[in-house]
Amino acid sequence: MLNPSIKIETLNHIEYERYSRHLILENISQEGQKRINKAKILFIGAGGLNSSSLLYLTASGVGIIGIMDNDQVELSNLQRQVIYNINDITKNKVKAAKDKLNQLNPLIDIKTYNYLFTENNAYNIIADYDIVIDGTDNFTSRDIISKYCHLLHKIHIYGAVEKFIGQISVFNYQNGPNYYDLYKKSENQKYETCSERGVLNTLTAIIGIMQATEAIKVITGIGNIINGYLLRYNSLDLSLKMIRIKPIKHKKNTKLILHKCTKSYVQSFKPKYIYKQELKNLLENTYYQLIDIREPTEFNFQNIHHSINIPLKRFKTLQTIQYIKKQLTNKILIIYCNNELRSYIAAKILHRYQIKYYILKGGIKSI
């Protein structure tokens, strides 16, 4: 479930009627629908996979939807990209898709990015969303999605299709595997693009709907997520096969955070912890400062007295490091979160810049 502590406004009468079939589902009900309404999902690619997932997640009431694609609609797209029609040919895909989705559900805030997804814009765009739905058909884009979803702790819902076979997985969910655990970068180069290999049109809709379903499950906290597994679907014999993904250690992941660290420096890093019972005595000393590295919505709902809020994504900027060195000079920082992995990453950054710190063992959950 995304941000379970967020206080969410009640549904209005229009939303009650529009989403009534969700509201009567015991596992979703009003609370689940309100979380769907507050969710923010970025769709990278507006082709066959995301045509179906865009339609259904817009219909489901996802509050903010981002669509990123720099292509125009072509006649050959209409075989599987059902969000478009003959009148959309030569139009920008993101503009044509937004027009259709606004007609389907005018309650949704739809943002469009009519340019190529690259290393230069990935960080700033992905940072604004909770979930990224990967509808790309090339491995360069998937590499970038995996890299920045991992760096920003965003859930990456992966889907791919080839001829009559499709596959899906959910990456970066509860510290689970990421895309690089499925394919090494060198292996990616073996595969052709969608336009070169062909694909059954209904297959794109089936995998796209599966991606949308996983997104709803993640948002509402229901069911079992395809986390740590790859689901393969063969449309020729209607078979499903679940394949376990074995996580592997990637030196690349460490370099994302500590770009210039030597190998020996990274290996020598050991985080420093303090425990709940030690905290009270330490905070009586003015040489310590508590820092909550969660998002502002989580911090505002619950935090430890006398702490300040600096979200993890800001730790990765030089401006934040300069602020800490200037404003919190001569203080030892105590960082905490509800996720020990995020605290570990923040600790690595502080260690790199020789800033004294402790991680509160157990985080906000220990209080």
Residue ranges and CATH numbers for the domains of the chain are: 13-244 (3.40.50.720), 251-366 (3.40.250.10)
Query: In the block, which residue shows the tokens 């303090």?
Result: 274
For residue 272, what are the contacts with CB-CB under 8 A and spacing of at least 6? 347, 357, 358, 359
Per-residue three-class SS string for 148-197? HHHHHCCEEEEEEEEECEEEEEEECCCCCCCHHHHCCHHHHCCCCCHHHH
The CA-atom distances, in angstroms, between 298 and each of 34, 47, 207, 236 are 17, 34, 33, 46
Query: In the block, which residue shows the tokens 């507006």?
Result: 46
Instruction: Count CB-CB contacts under 10 A for residue 233.
Output: 18
For residue 218, what are the contacts with CB-CB under 8 A and spacing of at least 6? 1, 2, 131, 155, 157, 170, 173, 225
Per-residue DSSP letters for 221-246?
T-S---BSEEEEEETTTTEEEEEE--
pLDDT score recorded for residue 365? 64
Tens-level pLDDT at each residue, the chain (367 residues): 565 555 556 899 999 999 999 999 999 999 999 999 999 999 999 999 999 999 999 999 999 999 999 999 999 999 999 999 999 999 999 999 999 999 999 999 999 999 999 999 999 999 999 999 999 988 889 999 999 999 999 999 999 999 999 999 999 998 889 888 887 654 444 444 444 468 999 999 999 999 999 999 999 999 999 999 999 999 999 999 999 998 776 444 434 433 333 333 334 567 888 887 777 766 666 678 889 998 887 788 888 888 899 988 888 788 888 888 888 877 888 998 877 777 888 888 888 888 888 888 877 765 5
Distance CA 211, CA 132 (A): 10
Q: Residue 13 class from Cβ within 10 Å (0-12 exposed, 13-18 middle, 19+ buried)?
A: exposed
The pTM (predicted TM-score) of the whole model is 0.67
Distance CA 293, CA 108 (A): 29
pLDDT score recorded for residue 7? 53
pLDDT score recorded for residue 257? 37
Q: Are 293 and 337 contacting, i.e. CB atoms less than 8 angstroms apart?
A: yes
Q: Which helix (H) or strand (E) element contains residue 1?
A: none
pLDDT score recorded for residue 197? 66
Distance CA 276, CA 274 (A): 7
Quick one: the chain helix, strand, coil %, rounded to 5? 45, 20, 35
Task: Say how far residue 115 (Cα) sits from the centre of its chain.
Answer: 20
For residue 30, what are the contacts with CB-CB under 8 A and spacing of at least 6? 10, 11, 23
